[in-house]
């Protein structure tokens, strides 16, 4: 059996201490959230996987890549 939700959360909090998170703006958080929801909501598993390969894409680049991969498929 896997770890509980609480154990998983505690492990993430422990790992967070080793990360060098910089300050972000509300707009950056919003942009990241939109990208995450966009990728998660895609019906094409192939496009979904291709977008996850490049986590640094901003919203417009993410949309452009999704269109490109979808068209190529």
Q: Rounded CA gap, 65 and 63, in Å?
A: 5
DSSP code at position 23: P
- pLDDT above 70 coverage of the chain, percent: 97
**pLDDT classification of 55: cutoffs 50, 70, 90:** low
Instruction: Report the predicted TM-score, pTM, of the whole model to 2 decimal places.
Output: 0.55
Q: Which residue has the higher pLDDT, 59 or 6?
A: 6
Domain segments of the chain as ranges: 25-73
Contacting residues for 62 by C-beta, under 8 A, at least 6 apart: 35, 38, 39, 51
DSSP code at position 54: -
Contact, 59 vs 33, CB < 8 A? no
């Amino acid at each position: 059996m896997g770890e509980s939700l609480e154990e998983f959360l505690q492990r993430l909090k422990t790992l967070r201490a080793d990360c060098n998170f910089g300050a972000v703006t509300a707009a950056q958080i919003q942009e990241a959230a939109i990208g995450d929801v966009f990728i998660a909501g895609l019906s094409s598993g192939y496009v979904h996987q291709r977008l996850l390969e490049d986590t640094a894409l901003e919203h417009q680049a993410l949309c452009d890549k999704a269109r490109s991969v979808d068209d190529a498929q």
